[in-house]
Amino acid sequence: MDAAPIPTKPVALSVILVTPDNYATIRKTVGYLRKQTAADHIELLIVAAHQDALELNEEELAVFGAWRVIEVGEIRTLAFVKAVAIRQARAPVVVQAEDHSYPEPNWAEVLISTHAKGYAVVGPAIKNANPRTSLSWANYLMHFGAWAGGMVEAGEVEQVAWHNCSYRRDILLEYGDELPRLLSVESTLQEDIRRRGHRIFLAADIATSHVNITDPRTAMRHHFCGGRLFAARRADEGKWSTGKRFVYFGGAPLIPFVRLPRLLNHISRHELRNKLLPGVLFPMSAALVCHAAGEAIGYAFGMGNAEEQYSFFEMRRVDHLCAKDREVELAG
């Protein structure tokens, strides 16, 4: 499907939003994108398995400078289909959106203006959109503690939050066929972008509110797959020898003891620290153990199907929530 409407202004930001099934899955996020102060400068790229099943509401998309549906067939990994969308994007800056991350109204405007200052990668602060459970807080702090809204200041940084940041499209295209691999673990991508002499900026004056997994079984599987994906990609990128891989495999049980003090530091700086402790410690510790187990397997035996499983957990977040959070999400 071609873009509609034809933009009357040049689009400055291509927003990539993936749905594995239909428009209803991403409708809430689209609602937040519709409220953007720079909506008429946005090209919305809806990445879908099958266009015929979308049940698209074209009237809701008329506010954007342009929009398109990119049909990709079965979605096995998010990194691959995002790379497809990046290649087809028309704007000079591309940003990843999620069906479970809701940006503030000036989000797009600030991303565009910050890139105009010469930054290659820009990320917002991240807020907790479902703060009702200790498991949500544990997941939020483990994934986004370094960029937590209200705890960070704007400025040049080494990395910004994965899956929620924007990139200069021309820089991403330089990676060619390697782009999907690098998008699967964005720390590797951002490290390489910095090695190439580019700068990364944390725009802490804007934020997106992120819905975290709160189904306990899914959460632990998510951490295991994330650990395996990270470790396997890290070892592959570094061209590690078999010996080095097994040294890290043997050291994996120490990982929770290395990471926990860092996470406690994030908690100590949070305005809700007295409410978070001690309740957050048990789910956080369990998640750290699962992530470390995944890393051990990734170092020793490679990625397996961890990327496919991880991508599954990153889509249709409503399916991976506790009953109360699911009720709230479905209520809109």
**pLDDT at residue 235 tops 70:** yes
**pLDDT at residue 201 tops 70:** yes
**pLDDT at residue 326 tops 70:** yes
The residue-averaged pLDDT of 192-217 equals 98
Q: Tell me: the pLDDT tens digits for 236-271?
A: 999 999 999 999 999 999 999 999 999 999 999 888
Give residue 4's pLDDT: 52
Instruction: Compute the distance between CA of residue 7 and CA of residue 4 in angstroms, rounded to an integer.
Output: 8
Instruction: Compute the distance between CA of residue 323 and CA of residue 271 in angstroms, rounded to an integer.
Output: 27
Instruction: Compute the distance between CA of residue 92 and CA of residue 166 in angstroms, rounded to an integer.
Output: 10
Report the share of the chain in percent with pLDDT over 90.
95
Q: Tell me: the pLDDT tens digits for 151-184?
A: 899 999 999 999 999 999 999 999 999 999 999 9
Q: Tell me: the pLDDT tens digits for 85-129?
A: 999 999 999 999 999 999 999 999 999 999 999 999 999 999 999
Average pLDDT, the chain: 96
Q: Around Cβ 176, how many Cβ atoms within 10 Å?
A: 9
Report the share of the chain in percent with pLDDT over 70.
97
The residue-averaged pLDDT of 46-74 equals 96
Give residue 9's pLDDT: 67
- Residue 39's alpha-carbon distances to 35, 149, 167, 255, 312, in angstroms, are 7, 23, 18, 43, 29
Predicted TM-score (pTM) of the model is: 0.94
Instruction: Compute the distance between CA of residue 149 and CA of residue 182 in angstroms, rounded to an integer.
Output: 26
Quick one: pLDDT band at residue 289, thresholds 50, 70, 90? Answer: very high
Closest CA to 131 of 119, 121, 112, 144: 144
Give residue 148's pLDDT: 95
What tokens does 20 get?
A: 């594995």
Angle at 145 between CA 144 and CA 147, to 5 degrees: 70
| Domain coordinates in residue numbering, the chain | 216-321
Give residue 8's pLDDT: 53
Quick one: pLDDT band at residue 3, thresholds 50, 70, 90? Answer: very low
